Amino acid sequence: MKHTRHTRPATVAVLATTAALVLSACGSEDPSTGTDGADGDLTPVTLQLQWVAQAQFAGYYAALDQGYYEEEGLDVTIQEAGTDTVPIDVLAAGEADYAISWVPKVLGSIEQGTEVTNVAQIFERSGTLQIAFADAGIDGPEDLAGKNVGSWGYGNEWELFAGMQSAGVDPTGDVSLVQQAFDMNGFLAGDIDAAQAMTYNEYAQVLETVNPDTGELYQPEDLTVIDWNDVGTAMLQDAVWADAARLADDEEYAETTVRFVKASLKGWVYARDNAQEAADVVTASGSTLGTSHQLWQTNEVNKLVWPSTSGIGTINADQWEQTVDIAMSTANETGATIITTEPPTTAYSNDYVEQAIAELEDEGVDVLGTDFAPIEVTLNEGGA
């Protein structure tokens, strides 16, 4: 899971740090850093995740494991999140150099005065679903009327509310909203007719559960899925955020941002082309998820990234505008919207990712993944 609550962050222990760069005694110049190999030091960088170690973040762990950060002269520490961690608050407090967070959640922080910039939009598609059992008669958001509808809240609800709004369903009167825990227990118990689920996590949790009617695991045909990408209310999710003031005032930080984004994108390319190996890397990093669940998650996250329309990490204007429009026009059950005015121009920039992509293309790296095809993953009970 990857959900964060909007309270003061509690930074958790560091997960992993790259080893020191081994350089030859001859002191030749390192081409990736432009520093003298014998004397040059790696630039320390801390990345704040949005949740604990899992394949949602496979690209960053792969970049660490494969030495891509080292190649760019970076000593990267990946910092996990806890239940009360707000990644953008950690970034704004100077306790991390970069942070991973969903765009709609950060838009609210920006309107409240937090100065951060989206420098790489890793997930091009939304991974949020609303799932129901096939016999519930729920095939689209219009069918949610009169149903018990699960909502996580904490900034995870906006696509659901926008979807209901687009279908003419009033979330304050036409449905019974259920405060959904960050699991599928309420859904499996029958207390929720349509539950929130991420493609790469909670949806799999259901498919890893034994159907008491058959004695076998639940199958996709036992469920119906509302995909907000299909409905037209998808919002941008995992992105790399940087400190906007530092980008403007600190040339070294701006250059580091290009190098960090470049290595991270290369890590996501590795995860695309080596799903099993990437899943294994995340498991080795300390993730507690089961083996089949980890691979499922890697595969599903790859679908959110690949194929890329304009090159991995590029912020596409139409998708950004859709996210902003929903953030300004959709109200939740309290009547609140995420933001009330357009975000500043500093809310996102393609400058850093475009430079990173250009360098990767010069190295022959496929940044579009046009021929990407997901693998087949067999889930085991409990995700084992």
pLDDT at residue 10 is higher than 70: no
CA 384, distance to chain mean position in Å, is: 23
Can you list the positions of beta strands (E) in the chain? 14-17, 29-30, 35-36, 43-48, 74-79, 98-102, 116-120, 128-133, 148-151, 176-179, 195-198, 223-227, 238-243
Write the pLDDT tens digit of every residue in 322-376: 999 999 999 999 999 999 999 999 999 999 999 999 999 999 999 999 999 999 9
Backbone φ/ψ region at 190: left (φ over 0), alpha (ψ -120 to 50), beta: left
Write the pLDDT tens digit of every residue in 134-149: 999 999 999 999 999 9
Q: What is the Cα gyration radius of the chain?
A: 21
Q: From CA 346, how far away is CA 118, in angstroms rounded?
A: 8
The pLDDT-based confidence of 83 (bands split at 50, 70, 90) is confident
Give the mean pLDDT of 171-177.
95
Could you give the domains of the chain? 14-124+235-383 (3.40.190.10), 128-231 (3.40.190.10)
